């Protein structure tokens, strides 16, 4: 989900809710401690130089149980961040700490935001040897064998 989509989705919300991949919700007294743009410059295992940009939201919970971030408050934080940091309309990455700091993608299901799992991947699978090609076979080219009989034990 991109920053523009988050802004559009929070316009009609009465409360902000974030659901973890395991179905639990981030406690409603969370704080949004960071909104920013992250640039990652790197070289993949195939030697290709790459640059990725994303928008980072950091969610944090503390002992402040009376605190609630309203959708309007998040909208104002985003607006200030866009103005001051000149944010692009990049994909959102959410940081939230459970056992360790987790990085999540973000979706919206019409009622609340969903933190989605992220995975690693080899970006140069063709050049580093992890790419496996599968041969394509037409089913019509397979030989027809009808060796199964009622007493043959294969049924």
Q: Please, what sign has the CA dihedral across residues 108, 109, 112, 115?
A: negative
pLDDT, tens digit (0-9, with 9 covering 90-100), for 46-67: 899 999 999 999 999 877 787 7
| Whole-number Cα distances in Å, 114 to 18, 23, 84, 150 | 6, 9, 27, 52
- With H, G, I as helix, E, B as strand and everything else as coil, classify residue 115: strand
Q: Please, what sign has the CA dihedral across residues 78, 42, 51, 126?
A: negative
pLDDT, tens digit (0-9, with 9 covering 90-100), for 86-127: 999 999 999 998 888 999 999 999 999 999 999 888 888 877
User: Whose CA is closest to 31, among 63, 88, 69?
Assistant: 69
Alpha helices in the chain (DSSP H): 3-10, 71-85, 125-128
């Amino acid at each position: 989900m991109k920053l523009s989509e988050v802004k559009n989705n929070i316009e009609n919300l009465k409360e902000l809710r974030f659901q973890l991949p395991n179905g639990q919700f981030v406690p409603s007294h969370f704080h949004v401690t960071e909104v920013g743009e992250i640039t990652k410059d790197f070289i993949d295992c195939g030697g290709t130089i790459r640059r990725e940009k994303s928008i980072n939201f950091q969610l944090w919970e503390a002992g402040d149980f009376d605190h609630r971030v309203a959708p309007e408050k998040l909208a104002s934080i985003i607006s200030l961040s866009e103005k001051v940091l000149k944010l692009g309309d990049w994909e959102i990455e959410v940081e939230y700490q459970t056992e360790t700091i987790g990085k999540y993608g973000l979706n919206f299901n019409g009622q609340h935001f969903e933190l989605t799992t992220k995975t690693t991947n080899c970006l140069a699978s063709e050049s580093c040897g992890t790419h496996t090609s599968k041969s394509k076979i037409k089913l019509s080219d397979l030989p027809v064998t009808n060796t199964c009989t009622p007493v043959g034990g294969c049924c």
